[in-house]
Amino acid sequence: MTYQDIVQQFFISYYDRPADPGGYSFWLDALSNPAGEFYIPQTVVTTANTVDDILNDGTYGTEITGVITRFGTSNEFTAKYGTDPTADDFVNDLYMNVLNRGYVPTGDGTFWLEYYDQQIADGATPAEARANLAILFVGGIAGGSPSDQAMIGNKVTLANQATTDAQSLIDAGLTDESNQLVNYVRDDLFNQNLADPDTFAAAETSLANEYDDLLDSTGAMIDLDGMTEVSGTAGVEDIFALTFDSASGSMVATGTQVTITNFTVGEDTLRFIDGNAATATPAQFFAADTGIMPVSDGFDNQTLILFRPDGDSFDPAPSSITLVGVSNLDSAGANQIDVATLTAVDGAAIYELV
């Protein structure tokens, strides 16, 4: 096994979806980092065939149970299943999430319910009993019939690729698209018979196509630094970039003016390019008629980007806008320049960054 497989199996069994990049990184670190809360040595993971091997190892069973217990007490779990689902409902949900079929409350179904009852009799809380049951269930499926093995194995493979692609979208500044990709796999691919080789191959192709479509749903990145006029592309989300030097805490573009044509209010985005670390932080344009509403831009200081419409007002939305100035705010939100003076210039409106 791998740490990645463990994380994905838990996301699939409890949430019926691939791991989102944030959750994936968190749990990967918790399991693989010697300082992590639920650290399990790599040798233990790689020598285990299934997660229940780790549970039954006797040395790190507490850690593996601790991880999935957290899954079962999360807000997402509660929203999906309620605060205390019955054992019958929980077993059925495991079957649906992992194997795409409901369980029959005889034979194997009876075994899982009896296992749950025995866990409670031995002093486990309902959340702990569900956690141990889920570990044993996933482990049993992974070592079960060829069809069931293929189903969970292919779901994990698809989930790993989806999480990788979702992280790539975040790296490109496309956070919403990243969430869309995870939801696409949950809603459109996980409900298919992925145990069938042809269906699984088609699902892999569909995932690759969806990723490409989401990545291509935006226009090219347009650098505003040193420019006097730039134009976006109608009908797509354009990305306009300003260079930020995190080492000095200053915006390189401060004091410049540039007119953006074919700009769509509420759709096109601004991205800070960190000239010191060569990383990007996304931000969204929002118009504000009056007042200053600073929000975090992902750096230590908050920032306001001030634009004015190249017309009478922002209602209806202008076809072009002009950058008036950039105002860094200190950590307490105090203006470091006279924003009132800037907002008085040609009726400039404030665009807050989120």
Q: Are residues 204 and 258 in the same domain?
A: no
Q: Are residues 209 and 225 in the same domain?
A: no
Q: Are residues 67 and 189 in the same domain?
A: yes
- What residues make up the domain containing 232? 220-352
Q: What torsion do the CA atoms of 96, 102, 108, 111 make, to the nearest 10 degrees?
A: 80
Q: Are residues 327 and 345 in the same domain?
A: yes
Return the SS3 of 272.
Answer: strand
Q: Which runs of E-coded beta strand occur in the chain? A: 218-223, 229-231, 237-245, 250-251, 259-261, 269-274, 279-284, 287-288, 302-309, 320-329, 349-352
- The rounded distance, in Å, linking the Cα atoms of 264 and 140 is 53
- State the pLDDT at residue 191: 94
- The rounded distance, in Å, linking the Cα atoms of 89 and 78 is 13
Picking from 187, 214, 241, the residue at the C-terminal end of a domain is: 214
Q: Are residues 324 and 188 in the same domain?
A: no
Q: Name residue, tokens 């949430």.
A: 15
- The rounded distance, in Å, linking the Cα atoms of 87 and 92 is 9
CA 210 to chain centre: 16
Q: Are residues 102 and 151 in the same domain?
A: yes
Q: Are residues 96 and 117 in the same domain?
A: yes
Contact 317, 265 (CB under 8 A): yes
Q: Are residues 161 and 304 in the same domain?
A: no
Contact 352, 288 (CB under 8 A): yes
Token pair recorded at residue 295: 């929000």
Question: How many folded domains does the chain comprise?
Answer: 2
Q: 230, exposed or middle or buried, with CB in 10 Å at 0-12, 13-18, 19+?
A: middle
Q: Are residues 329 and 194 in the same domain?
A: no
Q: Are residues 239 and 300 in the same domain?
A: yes
- State the pLDDT at residue 110: 80
- State the pLDDT at residue 230: 75
- State the pLDDT at residue 339: 39
Picking from 168, 185, 214, the residue at the C-terminal end of a domain is: 214
Q: Are residues 246 and 287 in the same domain?
A: yes
Mind listing the pLDDT tens digit of every residue in the chain (354 residues)? 899 999 999 999 999 999 999 999 999 999 999 998 899 999 999 998 888 888 777 788 888 888 888 888 888 888 888 888 888 888 889 899 999 988 877 666 688 888 889 999 999 888 888 888 888 888 877 677 899 999 999 999 999 999 999 998 887 777 888 999 999 999 999 999 999 999 999 999 999 999 988 887 665 567 766 676 777 777 777 777 665 544 444 443 333 456 667 766 556 666 655 544 444 443 333 333 333 333 333 333 344 444 444 444 444 444 445 444 444 444 444 443 343 443 433 333 333 332
Q: Are residues 152 and 229 in the same domain?
A: no
- State the pLDDT at residue 174: 79
Q: Name residue, tokens 């145990």.
A: 195
Picking from 183, 214, 245, the residue at the C-terminal end of a domain is: 214
